[in-house]
Structure formats: structure tokens, C-alpha cells
Structure 1
Amino acid sequence: MTIPADERRARITGIVRELGTVRVVDLAARLGVPAVTVRRDVAALAHAGRLRRSHGAVSLPPGPESAGRSGRADGRGRVVGMLVPAVGSSYDEVIAGARSAAAAAGARLVLGVARSGAGDERAQVERLLESAADGLLLTPGRHPAHRAEEYDWLAGLPVPAVLVEPPAGPVSPGTGLDAVGADHRHGVLLALRHLRALGHRGVLLAARGDTRTARAVRTGYAEAVRLLDLEPQPVLDPQPPGTPSADPDPDPDPERVADRIAAAAGTGVRAVLVHDDQDAIHLPSLLRARGLRVPDDVALISYGDGFAALAAPPLTAVASPDLAVGATALDLLLRRLSAGAELPAHHVALLPSLKVRTSCGGAG
């Protein structure tokens, strides 16, 4: 399936910022989309003042004054603090999207990483504020053991803030703040709807319960099973049984998950959605050792597309719009800094896409 336009354009801007001047055909090759699609995107970005076209090549417009013509709030001289729970993960794409949007608007992004819970998150926010941050992009409350009252400080922040990939629910911390995230429940619905169209009446889900994305995937699975009239199946947890709750990142147990998938295949349930792609990429070889081939005997979809295309066979995957999440959050914060309280609070949900490859059988 095609990459959503917002995500394509965020990627195009990031590539041009990284490389300087890039040919349209090279952009198309990097993105894996037709050149005619890239030309349309480049035309739209050029019209907005974010890129410049010349003889089949694309570059950034000259001078910082271009940020004021981009259609977004002027970020010149602004400092934006960004708090994430980790780097070297899916948050890298979110950071890249925010960084590209900040640079295009003339703002400066300052990064803070909080690895050890609510106390560390608050300390990192204080450090970002000491860096003269005009506004904040925050990803708080990563672990389910965190209590809502640990984040009461969100309501007393001295600068505007946008929550990035916020916790779900109307009583979550910072409910009244602006928020931008991916609609992971919709992403699950895309995957299960595709498997349902291929004739599967039951679909397994393998997903841990200790991250916010995994919890959203579990919620989306229950909703999609009901909406699509699928046969409910027990959720498989890749986390080893008996893992202490204090362990924030236990190693998964792919052997145990493969055993459960093989057992379900024996009862006729031969489709599985796995969160995330790093867990899913192990399964084809493990299932082959159990006498099952992907996709001939088991249809497999990964929730997450960082490495899915590199698997053998390549994995059909739900791709989260992480670049666009970062860019949209940064743009919204700059709008908030310009408009103040006159701008109503925004809760923005961007839709994932389904990239159909070999592992689920059937064409897109």
C-alpha cells in the first residue's frame, strides 16, 4: 500500500535536509514510490515554501526566512524541549519527524531521555526548562505500573506542551493538553480486516502488555474481532511467565510463542498478528522447525515495520506514521506558542497503513 501523503512529505523534507540537493528520481527510489507521486508531493511542498524545485532536482529554499512562508507557525528563535523514554527504537522516527519540522520552521530541538519512570521524567523536564525551552513535546507514563497521580505536575507546566503518543482514556494524565499520536486500534483493524478477506475466521494476537503501544494493540484487537465477527482467541504474551513487574524490558520468549501458534494451527487457527516486528521476524524459522511454513501454513502480519521487509519471507506489516507524528506534534506546538489559549486543545490521531508483502499470502 502507498505511504500516506503527510508521511511521504515529511520523509522527503528530511532527505532533502540531510543531503542538500536531491533528484526527484532518487527520492522516488529511496521512498519506493512512483516518481509521478514524488513530483506531486514536491510540487505541494514547493508551493508551501518548504522546498525549491529546479531542473528535476529538489533543494531547501534559501535563508531562514523560508520558515515564515511554510504555512506553519513561525518557529524562528524558538527552543522546543522533547522528552522520550528511549532512543534506538521506534521513537527514533518520531524524533526525526520533529527534528525535520523544527529545522524547516527555524526552531531548535533539545532532546531529553527518561529511562527510569515518572521521577526521572520530571527531572528531565526540569532540565529541558532550564535549557530555556519555549514549549515541550512529552511522552510520559510509558510503564503500566505508573499511577496517574504521578503526573499531576503536567497540569502545572510553565510552558505549553504537546503529548506525543499519549496514554489512552479520558482520565489519563494531561487530558486537557494538546496531543498527537498514531491510532493503533485502527492499525489492528487494517491487519485483521485483510486476514478476514483472505478467509481466516480466527486470528491470534501475540503482544506484550507492558508498553502503551502494545496495550493499544490489545484493545484494538478486541474491538476488531467483534467488528469483523471473528472467532475470539486468547492473547499470547511474548513476555516470559513470572517476569518481575519491576523489569521494564524483559526479553521475549519466541520459542514459547511459536509453540502456542503451532498448537493453534492444529485446531484450524492459521493466522497471527505479532507486536512488534522485532518479535515477529523470529517466527518463520521457529515455525518451520515445528513443521509449519509462512505463509503456506500460517499467515503472519507484524505490527511494526522497522525491520519487517528484511525478514524471510518479507513480512506484511502495519506501519505506524511515526515521522508524521513527530512533525505534526512539532507543528501543533508552534501553533500553540503563536495562538496561546485562543487555540482549542487538539487531540490528533494519525492513521497507520498496511504494507502487504509475502508473509500473509494473497496480494494487496
Structure 2
Amino acid sequence: MAIPAEVRRGWIVDAVRERGVVRVVDLAERLGIPVVTVRRDIAALAGEGVLRRSHGAVSLSGEIGASTPWGRGRVVGMLVPTVGSYFDEVISGARAAITAAGARLVLGIAPYEARDDRVQAEQLLESGVDGLLLAPNWFPDGNHDGFGWLDELPVPAVLVERRASPGGPGAGLDSVGSDHHYGVLLALRHLASLGHRSVTLAARDDTWTSHQVRAGYAEAVQLLGLEAQPVIGMKAALPRSGRADIETLAERIVDSVTSGVRAVLVHNDHDAIQLPPLLRAHGLTVPDGLALISYDDVYAALAAPALTAVAPPKRAVGDAAAELLLRRLDRGASMPARRIQLLPALKVRGSCGNQDRRRSTW
């Protein structure tokens, strides 16, 4: 199994911090990673200002030594449900902020299907972390049974891309996340500006974020005066159940177009990027026959055609969560708990058609 970039880069930063100045070839040999891969990772880290390259060697950026004093020497544990997609950018933002503060990030993964968050969090605690960044696998229906341990953590913690319900587990914790309701509003407002009076939402029902997108859709439809449509959902257990699911999704979208709806918002990129060729098999093209917007913007720009997408500020979320946790570690309980929501952006590409060809009916 390939090692995720964020994991490799964490190893590289740790090794450089330990040894000071390291030759790239020695670093590759020590970590057991091909030199070409190490060079690529070092280039990315140098671009972020984390590392400095010089004559075949690498060292920590000089900025790190003069960085924020409250983070120096700290170890931060981060628990995420997956790597290789959405959370990669969140991790990247957190790691850059933590490294720049002179602290170190330790990563834990509690897969969606395993739901072993507590076990993974305990392992991070046993490793001696000073604080935690947590993206718990809360059940989409709001049932947070089994997460009472969030209120008993022995170290400060910040919820990442999650927001606790009042009175629920973790309600007293700091949190930083994307405002997905606003993100959906951006998508529907754009489609409305192109003359669409109704938009179909296609969204899974097996993650916390997917339910935020569904709730945002209901709000946006009412706010914009659009005609509400039944949500096209797939009750698929993770990991994704495969080709049959996406083909069923394509068929249901074709059915919605038959009833007069010619715009769809799809959560997430994994599903949206597979749709255009399947829709073409049914005689439906994007964007001429259907305007399509993806939600997440991880791979949307790589589709054919490139997909207009809602882009949650993933890296900024990781950065802000890490900074908030470091401040919490420095100031303790004297700092009031904070709930921070960052606003997504809409990246307009080719999958909604020409904006100048607006329908006169709107």
C-alpha cells in the first residue's frame, strides 16, 4: 500500500528536526523511500516554508526557530477518518502550522467503517501528546452514543470539521470547521443565476458532512425560492460499494432530468467525477444537457469537463484548528471555548455551461 504524502512528509520533517542538516540521499535511505519521491516531498515542504534546501541537503526553515513560542516542544495528536482525499489538505494545514510553531504532529487514523475513535485517541494519548485535533466518526443521524469520552479527555482538544450539538459529547470543546450550509448556498445561488428554478441534490447519507450538505440544501432551496426536489441518496456502507452504486446514481439523475430538472449538486468529488461518461451513455451530456456542481473540490478540476465545485477551506481549517489548540495549550482554561466556521468558495469551471446563456424564465 502506498504511503500517503502527508505521512511521508511528517517523517521527513521529524528526521530533519532530529538531525539538523540532512543529505537528501541519506534521508531517502533512512526512511526507505525512493529518492525521487523524497525530492518531490521536500520541494512541497520547501514551498510551504517548512524546509530549506541547499546543495543536496535539507534543513528546517530559519523561520521556524523564531516562530511562535507557545508551541515549541509540544506534541500534537491528530485523529482523522481517512487519508488520501479530503482530509489530506486539512492535515497539511495543521502540520504546517504546528511545525512552524516548533511543535510536532502525530497522526492517527480511525477509518469510517471501523468506528474505533476512542481506541485510536487512547493510543495517541499513550504516546504522550500534549493536545488533540479530533475529527470523530459521529453517526450522521446525530446519535453520538459512545463518544462520552470526549468530555473526559486529559488534554485540551479541538474538534476539526465537526461541530458538537448543544448538550452532546464534546459540546464544551473548541471547534473549527467549514460552513457547509453556506457552501451549498453558493452552489445553488450560482445555478439559480443561470436560470435553473430547481436543482437536484445527490448525496450519500453515511458521513457527518453529507448530512450537513443535505441540511444546507433544504435551507438554500427555501431561501432562494427554488422548487425542492427529493434528494438522490445512496445508502452505501464505507468503503464505497463500487460501480453498481454510481451507475444507479446516474440512472436516477437521468430520471430527474426527464422530469424537467437540469441541474444537480453532487456530494462528493469521488461520485461526481465518475458521472459524465455514465450520463453520456444515457444520451445526457455535461454541461449542454445537465449543469453539474461537485462538492469538496479535491479532484473536481481533473474531470472532463472540469467540474465547477464548492471548495471548503480545507487547509485553512487545519491551520486554524492547530493554531487554536496551541493557544489553548498556552493559555489553558482562561480562554473561552471557541466555535469557528470558515466559509467555502465556489470554483467556477466548465460543467455548468456559459454563464452568459441565462434562461429568460428566471
Task: Assess same fold via TM > 0.5.
Answer: yes
Closer, same or farther in 2 for the Cα pair 1:90/1:216, shift >3 Å? same
- Structure 2 gap ranges (5+): 1-39, 53-58, 357-362
Provide the residue aligned with 2:199 in structure 1.
Answer: 203
Provide the residue aligned with 1:249 in structure 2.
Answer: 239
Provide the residue aligned with 1:81 in structure 2.
Answer: 77
- Structure 1 gap ranges (5+): 1-14, 28-44, 53-58
Among residues 163, 168, 174, which one is paired with 2:170 in the alignment?
174
Among residues 298, 301, 322, which one is paired with 2:290 in the alignment?
298
Among residues 79, 98, 105, which one is paired with 1:102 in the alignment?
98
The answer to whether structure 1 residue 130 and structure 2 residue 123 are counterparts is no
Provide the residue aligned with 2:116 in structure 1.
Answer: 120
Provide the residue aligned with 1:65 in structure 2.
Answer: 65
The answer to whether structure 1 residue 282 and structure 2 residue 269 are counterparts is no
**In the TM superposition, what is the alpha-carbon distance from 1:167 to its structure 2 partner?**
4.1
Distance (whole Å) between structure 1 residues aligned to residue 217 and residue 106 of structure 2:
36
Among residues 302, 320, 325, which one is paired with 1:333 in the alignment?
325
Distance (whole Å) between structure 1 residues aligned to residue 45 and residue 106 of structure 2:
23
Secondary structure of 1:273's counterpart equals strand
Provide the residue aligned with 1:351 in structure 2.
Answer: 343
TM-score by length of 2: 0.79
Query: Identity over aligned residues, as a percent?
Result: 58
Aligned length in residues: 309
Alignment-mate amino acid for residue 193 of structure 2: A
Among residues 158, 165, 184, which one is paired with 1:162 in the alignment?
158
Q: Is the 8 A contact 2:164 2:170 kept in 1?
A: no
Distance (whole Å) between structure 1 residues aligned to residue 142 and residue 211 of structure 2:
14
Q: Is the 8 A contact 2:72 2:103 kept in 1?
A: yes
Q: Summarize the alignment of residues 232-243 of structure 1 with structure 2, pairs less than 5 Å apart.
A: 232-239=228-235
Q: Is the 8 A contact 1:20 1:60 kept in 2?
A: no
Among residues 218, 225, 240, which one is paired with 1:222 in the alignment?
218
Distance (whole Å) between structure 1 residues aligned to residue 89 and residue 174 of structure 2:
20
Provide the residue aligned with 1:41 in structure 2.
Answer: none
Distance (whole Å) between structure 1 residues aligned to residue 300 and residue 63 of structure 2:
39
> Can you list the C-alpha shifts for 1:3-57, whole angstroms capped at 9, x where unaligned?
xxxxxxxxxxxx99745766xxxx9xxxxxxxxxxxxxxxxx9xxxx999xxxxx
> Can you list the C-alpha shifts for 1:274-296, whole angstroms capped at 9, x where unaligned?
01011011111111111111111
> Can you list the C-alpha shifts for 1:275-333, whole angstroms capped at 9, x where unaligned?
10110111111111111111111100001211111111110001111111111100000
Secondary structure of 2:209's counterpart equals helix
Q: List structure 1 runs of 4+ shifted beyond 4 angstroms.
A: 15-22, 116-119
Provide the residue aligned with 1:56 in structure 2.
Answer: none
Distance (whole Å) between structure 2 residues aligned to residue 271 and residue 345 of structure 1:
40
Distance (whole Å) between structure 2 residues aligned to residue 288 and residue 117 of structure 1:
33
Alignment-mate amino acid for residue 130 of structure 1: E
**In the TM superposition, what is the alpha-carbon distance from 1:142 to its structure 2 partner?**
3.7
Closer, same or farther in 2 for the Cα pair 1:119/1:235, shift >3 Å? closer
Secondary structure of 2:255's counterpart equals helix
Closer, same or farther in 2 for the Cα pair 1:305/1:21, shift >3 Å? closer
The answer to whether structure 1 residue 194 and structure 2 residue 184 are counterparts is no
> Please, what is the CA RMSD of the aligned residues?
2.6
Distance (whole Å) between structure 2 residues aligned to residue 122 and residue 258 of structure 1:
37
Provide the residue aligned with 1:12 in structure 2.
Answer: none
Closer, same or farther in 2 for the Cα pair 1:189/1:145, shift >3 Å? closer
**In the TM superposition, what is the alpha-carbon distance from 1:143 to its structure 2 partner?**
3.4
> Can you list the C-alpha shifts for 1:58-81, whole angstroms capped at 9, x where unaligned?
x9852643213xxxx621000001
Secondary structure of 1:149's counterpart equals coil
